[in-house]
C-alpha cells in the first residue's frame, strides 16, 4: 500500500482533533492512503477518548484506515509529527506523500486533493502548502522568506524607508494571489514528498516548537526541492489553541531556543550573534521612537531583555536541558 499518509497531532484537544480528522476524511475521499492521529503524550485521557471514538465511528475500518497512536513522549511539534511519519502506512509500507494537519485546522473538501495534484504535476517541487484563513474568514499570512540578519533588523526597526529598502528580505510576504514559489510555509497544512524527506531527513527534533518548518523547507530547498503555496487549497485554521501564543506575556524560552538553534545551525555562531545584535539595535531605535510617538510596542514585555539574556546564556553557560521550561504542545 502506498499513497498519502495524513498525520494529525494532538495534545489535550481531543474533541477538536476529532473534528479536524472528520474534515480531513471528507477531503481525503477517493484518495488512496491512511490517516494517523498521534497523541503527543497528553496525559489527560485524550488517547483513550480518541481511540474509542475512532472505533465507534468505524473510521478504523474505513477507506482511510484511521489509527490512533500514542507517542509516549512529548518532544514537541516536529518530534510528534516524525513519530506519525515513521509509523508509515498500516501495512508497513512507505507512503509516497505525507500531509501534516494541525488539530485546529479544517481543510475544505478539495483542499488536500489540490496539494496532491500540484505535487504530482510538479515533480521537482518538494513541499506544498495551503491558503490559510481564520474562523473569522480573514486570510492568514503563512507564506514566508527565510530569516536573515537584514530581516531581523527590519522587523524590529519598523521604519517605512528601511522596510522598502530591505523589501526582498522581509520574512512575512503579502498573501499570494496565485499559486507559486515561496521560501517556507507554516505547517498547519503542509504536504511533503516522501522521497525528499528520505533524502534530507525529517523534522529536526531539537526544535521543540517554532522554526522547525523553516528549517525543513530550507533543507529541502538546498537539496533542490522548493516549496509552493497553492491558493486552490483552502484550510480554516483557528490557531494558537495548544500553544497559547495569543496570551503570551513573555517570550517563552522554547521560542528563544528555537530561534537560536535555527540561526546557529544554518548560518553559524557568528551570524547568529550578528542577527541577535541587529534585533537589539533596531529594537532600541524603535523604542526611542516610542518616546515621541504613541504606537503599540509590538512585542511582549521584556522582549529585548529576554533575548539579550538568552543570547548571553548561550555564550557563557554550559549546555542545559530546557525540557522543563517547555510547555506540552503539539503545534
Whole-Å CA distances, 331 to 24, 167, 234, 239:
17, 29, 19, 9
pTM of structure: 0.92
**Which of these, 323, 70, 54, lies nearest to 209 by C-alpha position?**
323
Q: How many domains does the chain have?
A: 1
Each residue's pLDDT expressed in tens, for the chain with a length of 331 residues = 579 999 999 999 999 999 999 999 999 999 999 999 999 999 999 999 999 999 999 999 999 999 999 999 999 999 999 999 999 999 999 999 999 999 999 999 999 999 999 999 999 999 999 999 999 999 999 999 999 999 999 999 999 999 999 999 999 999 999 999 999 999 999 999 999 999 999 999 999 999 999 999 999 999 999 999 999 999 999 975 545 555 668 999 999 999 999 999 999 999 999 999 999 999 999 999 999 988 888 888 999 999 999 999 998 875 544 444 444 444 4
CATH, residue 168: 3.90.550.10
Buried b (16+ CB within 10 A) or exposed e, 1-33: eebbbbbbbbbbbbebbbebbebbbebbeebeb
Question: Rounded to an integer, what distance in angstroms lies between the CA atom of residue 115 and that of residue 113?
Answer: 5
Q: Is residue 26 part of a domain?
A: yes
Quick one: cell of 145? 522568506
pLDDT the model gives residue 247: 63
Which residues pair with residue 34 across a beta bridge? Answer: 5
Q: Is residue 273 part of a domain?
A: no
Q: Is residue 58 part of a domain?
A: yes
Whole-Å CA distances, 187 to 104, 127, 239:
12, 11, 11
Q: Is residue 98 part of a domain?
A: yes
> Residue 223: CA atoms inside 13 Å, Cβ hemisphere, count?
20
- Pair 204, 146: CB distance under 8 Å: no
pLDDT the model gives residue 137: 95
Q: Is residue 189 part of a domain?
A: yes
- Residues spanned by the domain of 39: 4-245
Q: Is residue 230 part of a domain?
A: yes
Q: pLDDT for 247-274, tens place per residue?
A: 668 999 999 999 999 999 999 999 999 9
Q: pLDDT for 70-88, tens place per residue?
A: 999 999 999 999 999 999 9
> Residue 146: CA atoms inside 13 Å, Cβ hemisphere, count?
19
Q: Is residue 264 part of a domain?
A: no
Quick one: cell of 265? 545551525
Whole-Å CA distances, 17 to 13, 178, 233, 260:
6, 30, 20, 31
Buried b (16+ CB within 10 A) or exposed e, 197-222: beebebbbbbbbbbbbbbbbbbbbbe
Q: Is residue 257 part of a domain?
A: no
Amino acid at each position: 500500500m502506498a499513497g498519502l499518509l495524513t498525520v494529525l497531532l494532538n495534545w489535550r484537544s481531543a474533541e477538536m482533533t476529532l473534528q479536524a480528522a472528520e474534515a480531513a476524511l471528507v477531503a481525503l475521499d477517493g484518495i488512496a492512503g491512511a490517516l494517523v492521529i498521534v497523541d503527543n503524550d497528553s496525559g489527560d485521557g485524550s488517547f483513550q477518548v480518541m481511540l474509542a471514538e475512532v472505533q465507534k465511528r468505524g473510521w478504523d475500518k474505513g477507506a482511510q484506515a484511521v489509527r490512533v497512536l500514542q507517542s509516549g513522549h512529548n518532544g514537541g511539534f516536529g518530534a510528534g509529527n516524525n513519530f506519525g511519519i515513521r509509523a508509515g502506512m498500516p501495512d508497513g509500507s512507505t507512503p509516497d506523500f505525507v500531509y501534516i494537519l494541525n488539530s485546529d485546522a479544517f481543510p475544505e473538501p478539495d483542499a488536500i486533493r489540490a496539494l496532491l495534484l500540484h505535487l504530482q504535476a510538479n515533480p521537482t517541487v518538494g513541499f506544498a502548502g495551503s491558503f490559510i484563513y481564520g474562523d473569522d474568514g480573514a486570510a492568514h499570512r503563512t507564506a514566508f522568506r527565510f530569516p536573515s540578519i537584514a530581516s531581523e533588523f527590519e522587523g524590529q526597526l519598523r521604519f517605512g524607508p528601511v522596510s522598502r529598502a530591505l523589501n526582498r528580505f522581509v520574512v512575512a510576504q503579502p498573501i499570494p494571489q496565485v499559486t507559486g514559489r515561496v521560501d517556507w510555509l507554516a505547517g498547519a497544512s503542509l504536504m511533503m514528498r516522501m522521497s525528499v524527506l528520505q533524502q534530507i531527513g525529517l523534522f529536526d527534533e531539537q526544535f521543540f516548537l517554532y522554526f522547525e518548518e523553516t528549517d525543513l523547507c530550507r533543507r529541502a530547498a538546498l537539496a533542490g526541492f522548493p516549496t509552493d503555496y497553492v491558493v486552490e487549497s483552502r484550510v480554516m485554521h483557528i490557531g494558537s489553541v495548544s500553544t497559547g501564543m495569543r496570551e503570551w506575556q513573555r517570550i517563552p524560552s522554547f521560542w528563544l531556543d528555537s530561534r537560536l538553534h535555527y540561526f546557529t545551525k544554518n548560518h553559524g555562531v557568528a551570524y547568529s550573534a550578528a542577527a541577535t545584535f541587529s534585533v537589539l539595535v533596531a529594537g532600541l531605535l524603535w523604542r526611542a521612537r516610542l518616546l515621541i510617538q504613541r504606537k503599540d510596542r509590538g512585542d511582549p514585555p521584556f522582549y529585548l531583555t529576554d533575548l539579550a539574556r538568552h543570547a548571553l546564556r548561550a555564550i557563557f553557560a554550559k549546555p542545559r536541558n530546557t525540557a522543563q521550561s517547555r510547555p506540552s504542545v503539539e503545534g
